[in-house]
Chains A and B, each alone.
Chain A
């Protein structure tokens, strides 16, 4: 069972604000989901290395060479707010 407090703690770790209703329904749903996923614990995995990428081929590397990829204008084009060549953010109180 994941309590509403636990949901709130994890939501903060994920930097996600939730309404009280969202926290409540997520607490019920996540408990239900994890209950269903509990069967994974029954698989014997002693000595098994985690598989983190499916094909495990050697990644290839490109040359460490700078290539032109746009400029400050293109980088700032999607900014919520910009000033000159800078991203602008609102003042934060704390």
Chain B
């Protein structure tokens, strides 16, 4: 077994049957991180206890004890997610020295399933960005070509998986932050239905939009990870009291009669020609597999980006109010120049610790919620949000899944969009609707552009219909049979 390119199900099986030790698996990945991370900057922190944890697992297995479905599988965790005893920064100077006293529920579930947390991945600061260029710890680079962005905000997680530094990673997706970097790096990434995965311990950006989910190299691996982190959690009142199916064991590759909707707004003029070609290739595969394709219309799609940015920044301005420099996080130095009043104490600490994109969004959100503007911005956006959700709910009466692009173009070059926020925000045109409406969405590798950069295909489903996304994803994966790896592998 080639450890660095093996799927996580192969790794878990080999570890359980003692064909390879969990320690060997962890050491191989740590060596790959050591080799690639100086250039790609996928990780902010390495878990130095990983080897020891793997050893303990090997001892359990040697004693014949149950090791779990993810036995010995390294998993990289986005730095937006709390890990007890391991520094968690959200890629912000604000949390430069924050060591959480507890782990997110999803991290506990991974560890109970036998996974080994290998490290914490780079991202846009507080998950605000689409390119991993806003990290306070330096930008991350795309393993297919390091002049290009890996996407974001879960860019480090995507780089870790695509670059063989971890067979699986967890990202968070507030407006596309799992699916877009998965697409840019040629891996699988799923944003589950809102409420599927507990948000307890996931640092809040926009609470009505945030969902964590897996990023892996295969559809089966994504299903295995998701079924191990989903479920009702007493610590998150918005987690859903819904049965968690064994998706990985119910993969059904027969698409006969499956109704696939093609929203015409996802194929309008802004869609780049190379991406269009890849999506059309996927459509052909589904047609040949017996799916019924129909064009549908979701006219409010053009409102998704403005609605998303008004809602997300409003929620962010409220969520990030907790960073006050009193109980944890960054505090400005007041020894030489004391604060005039309490407001200045807060203003200076926050002004010094937050990066420019975070400041931009806090101010936009505060403005959208402030007296005199609330009705026109936050409230209006929330009303349009309901209309948008109604359109999607209607669409899923006529279709089982929707198919379209993840982004208009493949990965762009580092630096080329970072000076124009509107240009960067428009990058999220096809991904934000899933967050606003709460539906699940998956990005599947669909092909490559002429310059060698990967292009993903997006499948959207109705609430709690993850199984259909995995089924369609598995059919595309098998038919396309893309076997290329970046040359760091």
Residues of chain A having any CB pair with chain B under 8 Å: 2, 6-7, 10-18, 22, 26, 29-30, 32-33, 36-37, 39-41, 43, 45, 48-55, 57, 59-62, 69-70, 74-75, 77-81, 87, 89-94
Contact = CB atoms under 8 A, between A and B. Distances in A.
Contact of B367 (A15, A30, A69): A30
A33 to B, nearest CB: 6
A77 B208 contact: no
A40 B386 CA distance: 13
A43 B209 CA distance: 22
B362 to A, nearest CB: 5
A51 B382 contact: yes
Contacts of A53: 194, 208, 238, 438
A29 B421 CA distance: 7
Contacts of A78: 97-99, 101, 327-329
Given A51-B382, A90-B334, A45 B387 contact: yes
A77 B328 CA distance: 8
Given A18-B351, A78-B99, A92-B342, A59 B380 contact: no
A37 to B, nearest CB: 4
A5 to B, nearest CB: 13
CB-based closest 4 A-B pairs: A54-B438, A17-B351, A50-B382, A78-B328
A64 to B, nearest CB: 12
Nearest to A82: B327
Given A2-B367, A41-B380, A60 B232 contact: yes
A12 B343 contact: yes
Contacts of A91: 338
Contacts of A90: 334-335, 338-339, 345
Q: How large is the interface on B (under 10, 10 to 19, 20 to 34, 35 or more residues)?
A: 35 or more
Interface string B405-422: 000000000000000011
B328 A52 contact: no
A86 to B, nearest CB: 11
A7 B363 contact: yes
Interface stretch (B21-29, B38-46, B299-307): B299-307
A74 to B, nearest CB: 4
Nearest to A94: B341
A19 to B, nearest CB: 8
Contacts of A40: 303, 306-307, 310, 380-381, 384
A65 B380 CA distance: 39
A11 B410 CA distance: 36
A93 B309 CA distance: 38
Nearest to A81: B331
B339 A50 contact: no
Interface in B290-326: 300, 302-303, 306-307, 309-310, 317, 321, 324-326
A50 B383 contact: yes
B328 A79 contact: yes
A87 B329 contact: no
Contacts of A10: 363, 366-367, 370
> Secondary structure at chain B's binding surface: helix, strand, loop or mixed?
helix
Interface of B: 97-99, 101-102, 193-195, 208-209, 232, 234-235, 237-241, 300, 302-303, 306-307, 309-310, 317, 321, 324-331, 334-335, 338-348, 350-352, 354, 356, 359-360, 362-364, 366-367, 370, 376-377, 379-387, 389, 421-422, 425, 435-438, 463
Contacts of B102: 69-70
A32 B306 CA distance: 12
A83 B114 CA distance: 40
A80 B329 contact: yes
A33 B421 contact: yes
28 contacts: A7-B363, A10-B366, A13-B370, A14-B366, A15-B321, A15-B324, A15-B347, A17-B344, A17-B351, A32-B421, A32-B422, A33-B425, A40-B381, A41-B376, A41-B380, A45-B384, A49-B383, A51-B389, A54-B436, A57-B195, A62-B237, A78-B328, A80-B328, A81-B331, A89-B345, A91-B338, A93-B341, A94-B341
Contacts of B195: 55, 57
A55 B306 contact: no
Given A14-B366, A17-B351, A78-B328, A22 B359 contact: yes
B387 A48 contact: yes
B364 A55 contact: no
B463 A55 contact: yes
A37 B306 contact: yes
Given A50-B383, A93-B338, A80 B331 contact: yes
A22 B356 contact: yes
Contacts of A79: 326-328
